[in-house]
Every structure is written in structure tokens, then in C-alpha cells.
Amino acid sequence: MVKIRFMGGTKEVGRNAILLESERSRLLLDYGVKINDIPEFPSHIRATDIDGIIIAHSHLDHSGGAPIFYLSEKKPIFATPVTAEIVKILIKDFIKLSGYYLPFEYLELESMMKQRKDLTYGIDVKFKDIEFKLINAGHIPGSAMVELNTNGKRILYTGDFNTLDSKLVNSAKIPKQTFDAVIIESTYATEDHPSRRDLEEEFIREILKVIEDDGRILVPA
């Protein structure tokens, strides 16, 4: 039997966390934070009640709460190398800038990074009775979907994904197989967005206007 428990991130943006329970293992898919004046974390789960963590991508709404599991435990944390490096930077900055008490410090972040298991796309991983692999999600550098197989069930966790190529990353590599369950990101599912090309052209036009007016341009990136 396979159980999927949503610990946060449903009907909201932020606090993404999903617990996948098989017969012999408990794998956490993301453990993020909602950034408010008082940071909000997913539903509490004890570190002793999970066997490992997979981080789909580095944004804090998917990764920002993960150090809480490393106060005393040593659980493997799986991610692409790019995601792992950016996670370290973002959470370090989160700790530094937070004006509110956080349930972890730099020490827990460092402990977490020592347990990182870097994975490239498409590599099959056997974790107890769960097999999984990471697939390019096309969201940001290092972002991944997670394809899991356990107890005869196939599950896809998309995380945040993008189906269009950008200047920075290739589009998501959507699996062609059928799945017993798909956990899909849908923040902007009901909205039509202008094409990326139109936005890029508008961006250039605005920059040229500023230049023509002898203005200065700052592009946070």
C-alpha cells in the first residue's frame, strides 16, 4: 500500500511538503516555507518519522524548512547538484535576514549539506522499497520532477515546471508513461500568460526608452 500525505502547499503558495509512505520507507518530497512576517512551515513531522528527503528545486517555498530535520538526525537529502548549491545560499540568506525565530540555525544547514546526495537527471535510484529518478522540470536551473515506483504503483511529482524553452533552461521533459497518481503544480493553471517572446521584446523596448532618456537601468538577476 502507498500513502500520500500533503503536509502543506495545497490551496496556497508556499509550504510545499508531501510525505510518500510505502511499506518500508517514508520519503519526503520537499519541505518549504511560506515567507511572511512570521514564516509558516508545513505540518510538523518528526525527523525520526522520515527516511529521506527529495528537493525538487531550490526556491524557499520548496526547500526552506528542510534544515529542521537535521538538529540531530542524519537523513539523506537528494537533489541535483545545482539545486543543492543554490539551496545552501538561499537558506543561509533566509536565516540571516529573518526577523523572526526560526527552528534551525547555520549549524543545522551545514549538517544538512553534509548529507546531500547529488543526482543527475535520469539516474535510477533504489531507496529501500522505492525507486525514483529526477527529470528536468524546466522551471529554474537544477529543477526536477520526481518519478517514483513502489509497491507496483507509479507516481509523478512535478514540482514547479515549465513546458517552454527559455534563455536559461530547456523546457520540462514530460514523461510519456501512464501513472497511478500525478501530483501537479497548478499555481497559474487558470491564467493565460503573454508569450515569452512578447515579454522579452517589451522588456527590450522599455530598456531602450530609459537609455534614450539618459536613465540608468538595474536588472536584478
Residue 159: CATH number of its domain: 3.60.15.10
Domain-located, residue 91: yes
Give the number of C-alpha atoms closer than 13 A to the C-alpha of residue 50, restricted to the C-beta side.
27
- Name every residue whose Cβ is closer than 8 Å to that of residue 63 and which is 6 or more positions away in sequence: 30, 31, 32, 55, 57, 83, 87, 90, 91
- At 198, the amino acid letter reads D
Tell which residue, 183, 177, 132, 127, has the closest CA to residue 156.
Answer: 183
Domain-located, residue 215: no
What is the value of pTM for the model shown?
0.90
DSSP 147: E
Tell me the pLDDT of the chain (221 aa) as tens digits. Answer: 899 999 999 988 889 999 999 999 999 999 999 988 889 999 999 999 999 999 999 999 999 999 999 998 999 999 999 999 999 999 999 999 998 889 999 999 999 999 999 999 999 999 999 999 999 999 999 999 999 999 999 999 999 999 989 889 999 999 999 999 999 988 877 888 888 889 999 999 999 999 999 999 998 87
pLDDT at 86: 98
Domain-located, residue 86: yes
Domain-located, residue 133: yes
Domain interval for residue 155:
3-190
Buried b (16+ CB within 10 A) or exposed e, 151-167: eeebbbbbbbbbeeeee
Domain-located, residue 204: no
Domain-located, residue 121: yes
- Residue 60 is placed in which grid cell? 524557499
Tell which residue, 159, 130, 157, has the closest CA to residue 25.
Answer: 130
Q: Which long-range contacts (CB under 8 A, 24 or more apart) does 39-43 make?
A: 39/64, 39/98, 39/100, 39/102, 40/14, 40/15, 41/8, 41/15, 41/65, 41/68, 41/103, 42/7, 42/8, 42/9, 42/15, 42/16, 42/17, 43/7, 43/8, 43/17
**First vs last Cα of the chain: how many Å apart?**
45
Domain-located, residue 35: yes
Domain-located, residue 169: yes
Number of independent structural domains in the chain: 1
